[in-house]
Amino acid sequence: MVGLVLVSHSSAIAEGTAELLRHMAGEVEVAAVGGDTDGALGTDPERIKEAIEGLDADEVLVFMDIGSAVLSAETVLDVLEPEHKQKVRLVDAPFVEGAFAAAVLASTGADADECTEAAEEARTELKLYNEE
């Protein structure tokens, strides 16, 4: 089973995205990690690490929003024990749309490759179509 960790500067964004995923994708392991150590806007590597370690999943996809969320997630990979590190990958995709696509596939039992591919495609997926 693929699980997701959502890392945002804002706990409201992380929690809200997790709520959306659970509602739309149903049975999927999602952990939301938002805000810094004091609950202010920012990211908190320690909680990112704990979320990865605590997720009940064989493979873990991490989604990050902006700036230091990416640096924090990358740094956590450096300090994870090998048993956890080998099941984690960071996904380069839009935060909400990418996590949503991955979660829907994860809920169908897709593997991490398939979920990642779907998340990455969310970057170029058009929302508005020009009438030809």
Partner 1 sequence: MGATRDTLSVIQEMATAMEEHRRHLTQLDSEIGDGDHGNNMHRGFQAALERLAATNPETPSDILKSCSMALINKVGGAAGPLYGTAFLRASTALSEKEELSAEDVAAAIEAAAAGVKQRGKSEVGDKTMVDALEPAARAAKEAASSGKGVGEVLRAAADSAGEGAGATVPLTANRGLASYLGARAAGHMDPGARSSYLLLDAAARALGA
Active site residues: 9
Based on the shown chain and the rule CB under 8 A, indicate whether residue 34 belongs to the binding site for partner 1: no
Q: Which of 26, 37, 58, 109 forms a contact with partner 1 (CB under 8 A)? A: 37
Candidate residues 3, 34, 45, 94; the one interacting with partner 1 per rule CB under 8 A: 45
Pick the closest to residue 103 from 132, 65, 60 (CA basis).
60
| Beta carbon of residue 10, minimum distance to partner 1 (angstroms, whole number) | 14
Closest distance to partner 1 from the beta carbon of 106 (Å): 27
Q: Which of residues 56-95 bind partner 1 (CB under 8 A)?
A: 67-68, 71-72, 74-76, 78-79
Whole-number minimum distance, CB 41 to partner 1, in Å? 9
Retrieve residue 14's tokens: 């992380």
Look at strands 29-34 and 2-8 and give their pairing.
Answer: parallel
**Nearest CB to partner 1, comparing residues 10 and 75:** 75
Is 108 one of the binding residues for partner 1 (CB under 8 A)?
no
Is residue 5 a contact partner of residue 21, using CB atoms and an 8 Å limit? Answer: no
| Cβ–Cβ < 8 Å for 17, 96 | yes
Sign of the Cα pseudo-torsion (31, 88, 100, 24, in order): negative
Cβ neighbors of 44 (< 8 A, separation 6 or more) are 33, 35, 36, 37, 72
Q: Which residue has the tokens 């990865």?
A: 52
Question: Minimum Å distance from CB 68 to partner 1?
Answer: 4
Q: Which residues bind partner 1 (CB under 8 A)?
A: 36-37, 42-46, 67-68, 71-72, 74-76, 78-79
